[in-house]
């Protein structure tokens, strides 16, 4: 009987199944890619050919970005001299942009070290061959990367404006390694401006059976390092901890929207079958039997949706692995645990989605159910002040409310991501607003990877059209109360300090000194003279300031030399602020500077933040959420409107018999759909604002959410989304309604 009921209303069943399928597909795909990325990264950081792994130590106030978690190469030389160590090998990796791939993983290894031997060359030569070096800078390319980029031995690849020749193709079995490339450690240190810096040092012991003893001994000798078993090594980069929560947050939004759509469809099924359920109750069916019937339909739908969603999600993961831009980073891992999670979530959505409709059906009294005339109620029922479309929505409050919730959840995700993105762009723009132009290193995939020599700054400042070229570095650390603590660093007497208005104390001048923004001081409960642990060191607070920008007021400021030392950036800056002698000539100066300094990416300060690769990636992520919401929301709205047309078939027949034309019926249904989606959009925006307001009261979240901006552009995006949902979701039901013949509609039961 359960299967017959589902088959009897094919359109409703199909749309409900589709909503669950897309939601579960999003859960499986995003979770698989997040898990795959973390697992692949873990494989890179763990090794079977080494005994111990040495990394930067994870401490309170550690750097968030991977580019700031390096250690000095001199540790390798010292460790190699230890009597228990047989050999030591260093590795440095980074992410670089290629013309075809924005995020391409590049590894640097010692050509003669033991660590590079895991890269099994299947064609061509080894990285350290004399023949390979004679033809230019050599690079080994992973098999997956070579296939996706259509490269082979002898071809060239340009990295940071440097030409490398592919001397060999390798395989390791690691997705991240096979989707990347390998250059010599010396070459990558030059490319990234990190002289004598490494991400990891691997140690091979003379007597591996003494591993635990040697590890403990070395850890005591080098307390500022993290020394662990090589097969247990994990990254110290805090930013990786954000990958899984972000993926799950987006996936959960998709699943919730699909689940609300399923609840809506089931509730409509109960309304539609009220008299049928009344007959069953009159024939002796107990409430428990009705409850089982409705829940059974939901569970079967959720099982089908979960199975198809899992298959679709797996297919999306496999497809993503074939895209050159993603192959080296996000190729997912589909494991039994993840498949089980997908099916479990589908069943949970089915159970929750069907519980209220099933309970409502079981509570129907036989007499009331048999006398139900829902579809025959007059179109004039409902509040008199409302138009006909609004009265139709008010008449079925449960259906309309659930649709509003479904659309509202999707809009919440879009508004939240857009508000954060707009806020970040606005904040960075305000930080750089003291000069007309801003310069960073060209062809970078992440602003944190930008490294410009101070010699370049002197060349810029020597130009007659430039009043000053002031360099700076921004670092991000994670504190327990302030997970996004930004440290601004400028020359001790640079012009940027003019915007740091001291409330008390003095600006930092010496070693180990920092001043705090007033918001950070309040959250951390710190004052002048207190100490603060950051980047593995202790800083003394010498001043409290205010700038008016949330990132700076929730962070700290130190001298450029101090932060360069802490982040291993000797004589390097992340960006230059260029103040012009004649600001009206900004366009002409910008054109000349771009031609004379091809190694820099120079833009107007007002446009700088939007041009950053980080911001473009964040905006792409926001657009992806928008697209996902549009797809799932369309299914939810279409489901509701199809049920509305089914329910009001006889009513629509009456209207047609009274002379309504097809255009009028179509307009009526689309108008109802638009009212639903616009109302859902208003609910989503209101809930997002309340959510942010609530979270902002929590000190840990305030530093992150303080940059949120509700700009008019977000309102335009939400309006476009809601109109799109209304039109797409209402078009098919409206068309179906226009196809109803008056005689057939009046006979509809």
Render pLDDT for 469-527 as a digit per residue (tens, 0 to 9).
Answer: 999 998 888 787 787 788 999 998 888 898 899 999 999 988 899 999 998 998 899 99
Query: Are 228 and 255 found together in one domain?
Result: no
Q: Which pLDDT tens digit goes with each residue over 398-435?
A: 667 777 777 787 788 788 878 877 777 777 777 777 78
Query: Are 91 and 223 found together in one domain?
Result: yes
- Where a domain ends, among 598, 626, 661? 598
> Could you tell me the pLDDT band of residue 9, with boundaries at 50, 70 and 90?
low
If 0-12 CB within 10 Å is exposed, 13-18 middle and 19+ buried, where does residue 83 land?
A: exposed
The stretch 174-180 carries a mean pLDDT of 84
Query: Are 645 and 536 found together in one domain?
Result: no
Query: Are 620 and 740 found together in one domain?
Result: yes
> Could you tell me the pLDDT band of residue 372, with boundaries at 50, 70 and 90?
low
Question: What residues pair up with 469 in beta bridges, in sequence order?
Answer: 578
The per-residue pLDDT for 264 is 66
In a domain, 91, yes or no: yes
**pLDDT at 188 exceeding the cut of 80:** yes
In a domain, 436, yes or no: no
In a domain, 388, yes or no: yes
Query: Are 361 and 263 found together in one domain?
Result: yes
Query: Are 197 and 92 found together in one domain?
Result: yes
The stretch 221-227 carries a mean pLDDT of 87
In a domain, 437, yes or no: no
**pLDDT at 607 exceeding the cut of 70:** yes
CB half-sphere exposure, 397, CA atoms < 13 A: 3
Query: Are 421 and 286 found together in one domain?
Result: no
Query: Are 581 and 480 found together in one domain?
Result: yes
Query: Are 575 and 705 found together in one domain?
Result: no
- Which residues have a Cβ under 8 Å from the Cβ of 512 and sit 6 or more positions away? 537, 538, 539, 540, 562
The per-residue pLDDT for 370 is 59
In a domain, 620, yes or no: yes
**pLDDT at 648 exceeding the cut of 70:** no
Report the domain count for the chain.
Answer: 4
In a domain, 603, yes or no: no
Query: Are 252 and 339 found together in one domain?
Result: yes
- Which residues have a Cβ under 8 Å from the Cβ of 518 and sit 6 or more positions away? 503, 544, 545, 546, 553
CB 15 within 8 A of CB 638: yes
In a domain, 503, yes or no: yes
Look-up of token digits 């310069």: 439
In a domain, 438, yes or no: no
The per-residue pLDDT for 505 is 93
CB 715 within 8 A of CB 414: no
The per-residue pLDDT for 539 is 92
Query: Are 466 and 320 found together in one domain?
Result: no
Output the CA–CA distances (angstroms, integers) from residue 582 to 461, 467, 575, 591, in the order listed. 14, 9, 21, 15
- Where a domain ends, among 574, 598, 622? 598
Query: Are 227 and 261 found together in one domain?
Result: no
**pLDDT at 194 exceeding the cut of 80:** yes
Instruction: Note down the domain range covering 447.
Output: 443-598
Question: What residues pair up with 124 in beta bridges, in sequence order?
Answer: 168
CB 75 within 8 A of CB 222: yes
| Euclidean distance between CA atoms 630 and 28, whole angstroms | 19
The per-residue pLDDT for 531 is 92
The stretch 569-588 carries a mean pLDDT of 90
Q: Which pLDDT tens digit goes with each residue over 13-66?
A: 676 777 777 777 777 777 777 777 777 777 677 766 788 988 877 654 445 555
- Where a domain ends, among 232, 263, 294? 232
If 0-12 CB within 10 Å is exposed, 13-18 middle and 19+ buried, where does residue 332 land?
A: buried
The stretch 197-220 carries a mean pLDDT of 90
Highest average pLDDT, of 168-182, 239-253, 579-593, comes from 579-593
Residue 389 or 570, more confident: 570
């Amino acid at each position: 009987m359960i299967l017959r009921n589902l088959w009897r209303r094919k359109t409703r069943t199909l749309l409900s199944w589709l909503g669950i399928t897309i939601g579960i597909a999003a859960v499986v795909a995003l979770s698989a890619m997040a898990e795959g990325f973390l697992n692949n990264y873990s494989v890179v950081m763990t090794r079977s050919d080494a005994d111990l792994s040495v990394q930067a130590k994870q401490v309170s106030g550690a750097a968030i970005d991977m580019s700031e978690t390096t250690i000095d190469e001199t540790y390798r030389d010292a460790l190699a001299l230890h009597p228990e160590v047989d050999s030591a090998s260093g590795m440095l990796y980074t992410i670089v942009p290629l013309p075809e791939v924005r995020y391409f993983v590049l590894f640097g290894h010692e050509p003669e070290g033991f660590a590079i031997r895991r890269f099994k060359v299947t064609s061509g030569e080894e990285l350290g061959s004399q023949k390979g070096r004679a033809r230019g800078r050599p690079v080994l390319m992973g098999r997956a990367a070579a296939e996706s980029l259509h490269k082979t031995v002898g071809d060239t690849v340009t990295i940071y404006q440097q030409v490398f020749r592919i001397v060999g193709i390798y395989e390791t079995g690691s997705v991240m390694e096979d989707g990347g490339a390998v250059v010599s450690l010396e070459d990558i240190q030059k490319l990234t401006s990190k002289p004598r810096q490494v991400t990891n040092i691997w140690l091979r012991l003379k007597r591996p059976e003494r591993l635990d003893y040697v590890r403990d001994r070395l850890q005591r000798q080098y307390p500022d390092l993290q020394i662990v078993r090589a097969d247990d090594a994990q990254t110290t980069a805090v930013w990786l901890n954000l990958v899984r929560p972000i993926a799950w947050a987006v996936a959960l939004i998709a699943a919730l929207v699909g689940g609300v759509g399923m609840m809506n469809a089931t509730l409509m099924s109960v309304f539609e079958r009220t008299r049928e359920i009344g007959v069953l109750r009159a024939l002796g069916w107990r409430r428990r039997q009705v409850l089982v019937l409705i829940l059974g339909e939901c569970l079967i739908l959720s099982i089908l949706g979960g199975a198809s969603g899992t298959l679709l999600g797996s297919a999306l993961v496999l497809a993503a692995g074939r895209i050159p831009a993603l192959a080296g980073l996000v190729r997912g891992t589909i494991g039994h645990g993840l498949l089980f999670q997908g099916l479990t979530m589908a069943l949970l959505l089915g159970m929750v989605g069907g519980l209220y409709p099933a309970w409502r059906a079981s509570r129907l009294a036989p007499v009331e159910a048999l006398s139900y005339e829902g579809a025959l109620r007059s179109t004039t029922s409902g509040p008199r002040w409302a138009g006909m479309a609004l009265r139709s929505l008010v008449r079925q409050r449960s259906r309309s409310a659930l649709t509003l919730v479904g659309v509202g959840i999707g809009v919440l995700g879009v508004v939240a991501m857009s508000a954060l993105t707009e806020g970040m762009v606005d904040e960075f723009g305000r930080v750089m607003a003291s000069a007309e132009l801003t310069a960073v290193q060209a062809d970078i995939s992440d602003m944190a990877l930008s490294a410009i020599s101070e010699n370049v700054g002197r060349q810029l400042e020597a130009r007659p059209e430039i009043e000053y070229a002031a360099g700076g570095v921004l670092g991000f650390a994670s504190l327990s109360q302030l997970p996004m603590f930004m440290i601004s660093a400028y020359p001790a007497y640079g012009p940027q300090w003019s915007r740091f208005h001291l409330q008390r104390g003095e600006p930092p001048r010496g070693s180990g000194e920092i001043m705090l923004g007033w918001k950070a001081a309040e959250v951390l409960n710190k004052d002048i003279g207190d100490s603060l642990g950051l980047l593995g060191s202790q800083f003394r607070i010498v001043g409290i300031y205010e700038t008016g920008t949330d990132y700076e007021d929730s962070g700290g400021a130190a001298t450029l030399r101090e932060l360069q030392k802490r982040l291993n950036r000797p004589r390097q800056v992340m960006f230059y602020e260029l103040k012009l002698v004649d600001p009206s000539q900004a366009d002409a100066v910008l054109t000349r500077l771009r031609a004379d300094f091809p190694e820099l990416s120079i833009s107007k300060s007002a446009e700088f933040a939007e041009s950053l690769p980080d911001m473009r990636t964040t905006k792409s992520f926001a657009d992806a959420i928008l697209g996902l919401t549009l797809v799932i929301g369309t299914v939810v709205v279409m489901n509701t409107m199809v049920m509305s047309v089914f329910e009001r078939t006889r009513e629509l027949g009456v209207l047609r018999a009274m002379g309504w034309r097809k255009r009028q019926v179509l307009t009526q249904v689309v108008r109802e759909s638009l009212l639903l989606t616009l109302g859902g959009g208003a609910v989503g925006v209101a809930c997002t604002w309340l959510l942010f307001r609530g979270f902002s009261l929590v000190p840990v979240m305030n530093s992150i959410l303080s940059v949120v901006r509700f700009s008019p552009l977000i309102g335009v995006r939400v309006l476009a989304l809601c109109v799109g949902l209304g039109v797409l979701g209402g078009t098919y039901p409206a068309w179906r309604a226009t196809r109803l013949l008056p005689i057939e509609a009046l006979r509809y039961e």
